Each structure stands twice: as structure tokens, then as C-alpha cells.
Chain A
């Protein structure tokens, strides 16, 4: 009996390490009369890195907010590991375009936010993973934009999420910092093996990071492309350029088709 419990606990712990499976079926989201998502279907296997691209206002961020349970879906269903999404889940963490650090808490207090008990060690470990352990006791105001996003990433990681939602977290960073951050996210994803959903308007970034690139246009998915390039991906190669061109053509073609 006792060994059974221990085994169960081990299984639970092992499954916690793994990413979560996400399933969205015919998801509709309306704000008043405006339909932002129009019957969106998407399924993601555990540990997969999915990049969602699309033009502003296509509904990609709204979809992410539904997954984070920040907004309810108007119709359709979302499941995580087969369980319907009912509210904010401990397994899901979201990172926003702005870092949303509490300015009145130090860096390490921000990372430890919402952790029970004495969490300094865990927070410090997470800061170490993003290379900012030495800034632990500073105010967020003293950090650069890229450093703040790294702290926000550490804050997400410290909860050991099984699904990490990234809502254009690199959108406001300069080109070099972006590449650094992309590599950091890729490395941490490979280490922790969680499921990642990255929303971005940068097609090159989507092709660099995603196992799959999904294009949302006008509230539904119009392209779902597997990216089979070996990691870490170099932007200069012909295959990379071909895939990037494919997605870009579709994005721009959609625009021409509409008008």
C-alpha cells in the first residue's frame, strides 16, 4: 500500500515534468458583436513548441488569453491533458509583452511572487537560470528591458509550468537582445520539456523557435506548418529562408486577397 502511494507520487512528479497536451475545438470568442476567434481548432502534443503568427488584430493574443483563462471562450472547448479548462491553472504560466514586474518589489521578490513559504532559494535558482542571480536584490527600475523580460521568464519558470504561454515577450526588445532571449527560451524549453505556445508577429522568430508555425488569419487557422530543421537553427540557410518565405507569402497573400 505504502509503496503504491510512493509510486503514484513518482508518477505524478514525472508527469509534472512533462508538458501538457492542449486541445482547442471550434473555439469562438466574441467581444460584443465583434467575432475575434471564429471556430479555431488546434491540438498540441506535450512538450511541443508551437509558434503562432499573424497580423495585428487577427486574434492570436486573444487565443493565448483564453488558454491562460484570463477570458472565457464564447463557444467551443479547451482542454489541457483532456481536462476542460475551468479557471486559472497552476500548470499554466503566461509571459506578457511588458514584463509586468511589481516595481515596489525587488527582483527576487518578484520571482518569488505567489510561491508558498520560504521561497528565496527556488527564486534564486530560477534567476540563475536566466543569468541574473547577481541582480537579485535590485529594483526592477534599475534593469534594462531585456533583463526585465528575463526576470519575468524566471518568475514563470519558478512555478515549474507545464504550459508556458508567451505573448510577444520579445516584441519590445532590440534585435541583439531578441536573439539572446530566443536562445535562452529554446535552451530552457529543451531542459524543462514543457509545452510552449509563442505568439509573435516576427515570422523569422517563429521559424527559429517553433516545432510548428501556425498562422491565424481573421480568427481561424489558415496555415499549420511543421518545421523540421535541426536546432539550433541558423537564419542564413536556404531551407530556413524557404520556410520563412512560405509563411510570409501566405501572410501577405492573405492581405492582398482580402482587399
Chain B
């Protein structure tokens, strides 16, 4: 028990140390508010913006965009990965094209995206969807392909039909890889949302911080960065939770 607490707190050691350093440096005036505001000011900004309802407004806009992008991009990625993973014909047809598109630096598309979709919601959702598509596509494809052939053969001998084979053998076998894709895509999801919201926007956390920058409100800028960090951490924890729950059988993920 004590050991578990020690291991747990080890992970928090560095963040707490950084926070304390930051506090002290601001307190003694070694750090001007223009470079980095005091932690207390950031909290104050958070409280004020929450009281006015502005923070929640921007937060939900960002969250909506992230989830919509994930749903669209992740959904298409999963379906295409599924199809190419199961069928050699589909792989021949689609995979080289997808790999070609994947090698385009997505951020290079931004001018084009803005021309196509303007700076409305569609452009942000499109960018996020494009970013989460690839990790989910590749890992779904790879997961389906790397299912143990021996298990598939066994399933056939033991009388499983096509649907049962998918449900009992192939999908569970591909799940660890699919979840890795999901976890990666969470990271890309926030990254591309930040970029999209920072470049051109009229709402969302990114817009809030860019706006604050124009008025030199570093406390709000840092608050926005902090919120992104928390969102990233929370979604990563969610992915880990899913892994623990769905991969209980897997030695690498079991909690015991």
C-alpha cells in the first residue's frame, strides 16, 4: 500500500516542483507578468471568466469541435481500416492512395481548407477529422491484419460462421491495436484543434487565448494553455480506462 502511494506520488513530483518554482519566482518578482503571470492571477482569470460565462462558452465550442472531428474522422478511419484490413482487393484499391495523402503535411493544407470552408465550423472539424483519421485507419488496418491466423483457423474448424468469426475472433484480436489508434488520435485531435482555432476563429479556447494575446492578458493565455493540457490529459486517461476495461484479458493491461 505504502509502495503504491510512493509510486503514485512519484509521477506528481515534477509538476509540483515546477509549480512551486513558478510560484516563488513570481512572488519575488523575478518573473514579470508579461512573460509569465503569477499562478494566482491565472486562477483569478479562470474564476472571473467562469463567473461571466465566457469560459464555459468557449470550452463547449472547443469540445464540440473536437468530438465532431473525432466522430467523423475516426468513424471514416475505422470503417476504411476495417474494409482494407479484411479485403485484399480493398487494400489494393485504397491503401496506396491513403498512404499518399498521409504523407502530405496536414498543416500545409490550411490555406486550402480556409478557401474551401472559410473560417466557420466546417474548417476546424475538417482539420480535426483529417488528423484523427490516419492513426485510427492505420491501427485498425494493422490490428485486423495481425490477428493470429491460427486462431482464425481454429474458429473455422469449430464451426464459427463469418459474423461469429468477426465478433469472437477478429475484432477482439484487433482491439488492442485499434485502441492504440484511438489514444494517438486523441493527441492529434487537440493538437489540430489548437492550430485551427488559433489561425482563424470566432470562438473556442484557441480564439480566447489569441484574443487575450492581442490585449497582453498573459493570465488568460496561460489559462487557455492550461485548459488544453487538462483536456489532453483527461482524454488520455479516458483511453487508458477503455484499455483497462476492454483488454482485461491482456497481460500488458491487466491491473493486477
Q: Which residues of A contact B (CB under 8 A)?
A: 68, 70, 88, 90, 92-94, 96, 98, 100, 102-105, 113-114, 139-141, 155, 159
B39 touches A (CB below 8 Å): no
The reply to whether A113 and B158 contact each other, CB–CB distance below 8 Å, is yes
Whether B154 pairs with A88 at a CB distance below 8 angstroms is no
Residue from B148, B157, B169, B251 in contact with A88 in the complex, judged by beta carbons closer than 8 Å:
B157
Residue of A nearest to B247 (CB): A104
**B150 in complex: contacting residue of A98, A140, A141, CB < 8 Å:** A98
Q: How far is the CA of A96 from the CA of B156 in the complex (A)?
A: 13
Decide if A88 touches B159 in the complex (CB within 8 Å): yes
Tell me which residues across on chain B come within 8 A of A92, comparing CB atoms.
157
Measured between beta carbons, the chain B residues less than 8 angstroms from A103 are 249-250
A70 pairs with B157, CB closer than 8 A: yes
Contact with A along B233-256 (1 / 0, CB 8 A): 000000000000001111100000
What are 16 A-B pairs at a CB distance below 8 A?
A68-B157, A70-B157, A88-B157, A90-B159, A93-B158, A100-B148, A100-B151, A102-B168, A102-B169, A103-B250, A104-B172, A104-B249, A105-B168, A105-B249, A114-B160, A159-B158
Contact A96 B154, CB 8 Å, known A102-B168, A103-B250, A105-B168 = yes
How long is the Cα–Cα vector from A139 to B255 in the complex, in angstroms? 14
B155 CB within 8 Å of chain A:
yes
A102 interface neighbour in B151, B247, B251, Cβ under 8 Å: B151
User: Known: A93-B157, A114-B158. Contact between A100 and B249, CB under 8 A?
Assistant: no
Residues of B whose CB lies within 8 Å of any CB of A are 148, 150-151, 153-160, 164, 168-169, 172-173, 175, 247-251
Once bound together, how far apart are the Cα atoms of A104 and B153, in whole Å? 17
Complex interface: chain A residues within 8 A of B169 (CB) = 102
Is A96 a contact partner of B150 (Cβ separation < 8 A)? yes
Which of B148, B150, B158, B164 contacts A155, CB < 8 Å? B158
**Residue numbers in A under 8 Å from B251 (CB-CB):** 141
**Complex Cα spacing A166 to B173, Å:** 25
Chain A contact residues, majority secondary structure = loop
Quick one: which of A94, A98, A141, A155 contacts B249, CB cutoff 8 A? Answer: A141
> Roughly how many angstroms separate A93 CA and B156 CA in the complex, as a whole number?
11
Judge whether B156 and A88 touch: CB under 8 Å: yes
**Which A-chain residue is minimally distant from B251 (CB atoms)?**
A141
Which residues in A have their C-beta under 8 angstroms from that of B250?
103-104, 141
Kindly state the separation between the CA atoms of A100 and B153 in the bound complex, as whole angstroms.
9
Distance (whole angstroms) from the CB of B120 to the closest CB of chain A: 43
Contacts of B249 in A (CB 8 A): 103-105, 139-141
Kindly name the residue among B150, B151, B157, B173 whose own CB sees the greatest number of chain A CB atoms within 10 A. B157
> With A and B bound together, what is the CA distance between A90 and B159 in angstroms?
7
Q: Which residues of A are found within 8 Å of B160, using beta-carbon distances?
A: 113-114
Query: In the complex, A22 Cα to B156 Cα: how many Å?
Result: 21
> Measured between alpha carbons, how far is A155 from B156 in the docked complex, in Å?
14
Give min CB distance, A65 to chain B, whole Å.
9
- A110 nearest CB across to chain B (Å): 10
Distance to closest chain B CB from A171 (angstroms)? 14
Q: Which residues of B contact A68 (CB under 8 A)?
A: 157
Q: In the complex, which residue of chain B has the Cβ closest to the Cβ of A165?
A: B157
Interface centre among A70, A93, A104, A140, by most B CB within 10 Å? A104
Within the complex, the shortest CB–CB distance from B176 to chain A, in Å, comes to: 9
Contact call A100/B172, Cβ cutoff below 8 A: no
- Known A-B contacts A98-B150, A141-B251; the reply to A114 vs B172 at CB < 8 A is no
